Structure 1
Amino acid sequence: MTDASHAEKARHTWTLYARMYERGESLAEAAEHLGLAAEELSRAQAGLVRLGLLDTETETTVDAAAALARGLENSHRVLDRLVEQHVMVASLAQNYLGFTRHANDDLRVEFYERERSAALNNRIDELADLAQLEVMAMHPAANWTPERLDADDTRTRRHVGRGVRVRALHAQVMLSTPMFRDRLRARRDEGMEIRVAPVIPTRMLIYDRQVAVVQADPEDLERGAVLIHGRDVVRSLAALYEFCWTNASELVDVPRSADDAALTEQQRAVLRLLATGAKDDAIARSLGVSTRTVTRLVGELTAMLGSGSRFQAGVRAARLGWLD
């Protein structure tokens, strides 16, 4: 192929990416507007895939900076692809990094309906690759599959490996699931900061305090998500996160619940009465047991909670969500 043919092929590739990226058009729409012949489109598409700028499943563009970051990372880990990766990186840096998504102001919102979950996952992967300082995650109780956990573990390892601070807030009730509990322990040991709380208001991800992904409807996990760009708005969401983080508990501060030891109904009843300041004889009368039994239960519960007093045991149990 002549130099002129190479230049024409590169021009078609660049023009196709520019049209799709800046106008949000599909591959077919962009090719039609540009008047590309089938053979030209095929070569341009192949070029975008080779550069990592086109997601083949959704046929949408990939952010060039994210593609560049992935290319650099792969070039260090896969020796037999080193030359190819450096060519790709050079092409991205020279021809594509100048693109920006234009907005009228600092604030921009993107809504992803449930049907666009694949596109949302791609955007989350891009944001994960671009994060440089901090990732803040908030997760209500949910049915986590092993596949979702594996994908989340992969992102976490990439972050921690690059020196990014990663924090995650989870619903405390999830500690009762052995698989999930073990994953949290493993992530903590790998450098992730994890806390749990009885109530998590919504699902949210915040990247470098500049971009946030928030569950569209706190009452319905299936309603989709909103992606928010805008430093001022995201800083407010980060402040909400910090409040929840401050009032959450470390895994080691949730006695025995992290070891899957469930409370009996009798123990819960004793803790509720302790929180009101009731004495052993009053608790015994209320439960219809002996005072000696109540005294024994109170001793076990205060030791389990590491509390300095009976009343403190009841209050701490309530804060940890043991009485829900």
Structure 2
Amino acid sequence: YRGMSESALSVPGFAELDDGSAMAYRKAVLLGRFVREEIATTLGTDTATVAGIEQVLSALSLLRPMPGEPDLLVAVSPDAAATDLVGATESHIRELQQAVTDVRTQMRSLLPAYFESRQQRNQTEAIDVISDLSVLQAMLDECGERCRTEVLSAQPGGSRPSPLLTNARRKTLERLERGVRIRHLYQHTVRRDLATTAYVRAVTSSGAEVRTTDELIDRIVVYDREVAFLPEQHVVGRRPGAVVVREPTLVAFVCKVYDHLWAGATQFSADAEDTPEVTDDLKRSIVKLMAQGYKDELVARRLGMSVRTCRRYISQIMLDVEAHSRFQAGVNVAQTGLLDQG
């Protein structure tokens, strides 16, 4: 409100012009002047009330003194009154808008120097270890905003928290609108998670591609096949950060690994039921891990599912091979050649 009439702001009822003031203003327009006695008669009130109305209308610039006759007030059009009230504020807003434009123009002029310097720095800093999660998130956001062509991501494990998916959906849709190709790779177990299914439905309808597989090596995020984020390893006592890889040969290797995983994965359509291939793939993966001597807990962790779900799959496998014990199931699986299928 800077620049707006201080008297207008201080008048009681400024924010809402009451019926009495509106009728007095209308009468003043008809008379060509503000005559207190006639307006008091029209409103059926006393002159003290009319004096208060006169003060309100004057503060709102709806009444002005007649040139040469300062004691005679005449009605002014609402457009002229509004201009008088907010003209200075509008001028100030235009000045601020111009100042914002000037700042943005000056900052954009530095972009070539920024990206050229970053490119030179990237050549010398091929690998960075980022342990601070806030710094890591800032770097991920920056790479996402600068991304021009493609984002690759592999997310092992089961379902993710709904707030994370909500935030990811907003960013993913914004990048898709910019024409960025986005591919997500999950494990089969997310197909039964409602939050993930809703996310997949939203992003695939806008052009993203999503597939699932039985096992994933670890989390991978790659931007424009130039910068790869890999999880920090062997961390104790805190949440792991990430290793940022910019060296072209290493990034190309990570992309080849991702493309290999993608080629063997199954398309995830949020509106379709689980395909039999997905179920069979999971069963084969469980059998292979059990044959390697892994316990139920480790099998579940490797496949991104709960131990309860893993044991339910094991029970189904035992029914499929007509076994009453796990030992018998192993024998029957070997005889049926289930491990050799696929």
What is the CA–CA distance in structure 2 between the aligned matches of 1:93 and 1:124, rounded to whole Å?
21
- The count of corresponding residues between Structure 1 and Structure 2 is 200
Partner of 1:16: none
> Where does residue 273 of structure 2 map in the other structure?
256
CA distance in 2, matches of 1:264, 1:107: 46
Quote how far apart the aligned CAs of 1:269 are. Answer: 2.5
Q: Which of 156, 176, 200 is the equivalent residue of 1:140?
A: 156
Q: Confirm or deny that 1:217 pairs with 2:266.
A: no
Match of 1:185 in 2: 201
Q: CA deviation at 1:128?
A: 0.4
Secondary structure of the 1:214 match is strand
Distance 1:233 1:255 in 2: 37
Q: TM-score, normalised by structure 2?
A: 0.50
Q: For residues 92 and 204 of structure 1, do their structure 2 counterparts lie closer, same or farther at Cα, with a shift above 3 Å needed? A: same
Q: Would you say 1:233 and 2:236 are equivalent positions?
A: no
Question: CA contact under 8 A between 1:106 and 1:230: conserved in structure 2?
Answer: no
Measure the CA separation in 2 of the matches of 1:84 and 1:141.
Answer: 49
How has the CA–CA distance of structure 1 residues 253 and 146 changed in structure 2, closer, same or farther, with 3 Å as cutoff? closer
Aligned counterparts of 2:235 and 2:214: Cα–Cα separation in 1: 16
The farther-off stretch of 118-127 and 146-155 is: 146-155
Distance 1:241 1:104 in 2: 22
Shift of 1:203: 0.6
Larger radius of gyration, structure 1 or 2?
A: 2
Residues 96, 215 of structure 1: CA spacing in aligned structure 2 closer, same or farther, 3 A cutoff? Answer: same
Residues 93 and 315 of structure 1: is their aligned pair in 2 closer, same or farther, counting only changes over 3 Å?
Answer: same
In the TM superposition, what is the alpha-carbon distance from 1:192 to its structure 2 partner?
0.8
Query: Alignment RMSD, CA only?
Result: 3.6
Distance 1:120 1:133 in 2: 21
Cα–Cα, structure 1 residues 269 and 165, in superposed 2: closer, same or farther, change >3 Å?
Answer: same
Tell me: CA distance 1:91–1:190, structure 2 relative to 1, closer, same or farther (3 Å).
Answer: same
Residue 205 of structure 1 and its aligned partner are, at CA, apart by 0.6
Q: Deviations over 1:269-322 (max 9, x none)?
A: 244x3xxxxxxxxx3xx459xxxxxxxxxxxxxxxxxxxxxx89x679x87xxx
The verdict on how the C-alpha distance between 1:149 and 1:89 changes in structure 2, with shifts beyond 3 A counting, is same
Q: Is the 8 A contact 2:154 2:220 kept in 1?
A: yes
Query: Match of 1:109?
Result: 127
CA distances 1:36-95 after superposition (whole Å, capped 9, x unpaired): xxxxxxxxxxxxxxxxxxxxxxxxxxxxxxxxxxxxxxxxxxxxx975654333112224
* TM-score normalised according to structure 1 size: 0.53
Matched, 1:91 2:140: no
Secondary structure of the residue aligned to 2:239 is strand
Amino acid at match of 1:139: Q
Amino acid at match of 2:316: Q
8 Å CA contact retained: 1:214, 1:227: yes
Could you tell me the percent identity over the aligned residues? 18
Paired residue secondary structure (1:199): coil
Verify the 8 A CA contact 2:222 2:229 in the aligned structure 1: yes
Going from structure 1 to structure 2, the CA distance change for 1:256 and 1:265 (only over 3 Å counts) comes to farther
Give how far 1:133 is off: 0.7
1:159-308 → structure 2 map (5 Å cutoff): 159-217=175-233, 222-252=239-269, 256-257=273-274, 267-271=316-320, 273=321, 283=322, 286-287=323-324
Aligned to 2:27: none
Structure 2 runs not aligned, ≥5 long? 1-95, 280-308, 326-335
Distance 1:85 1:231, change over 3 A: farther
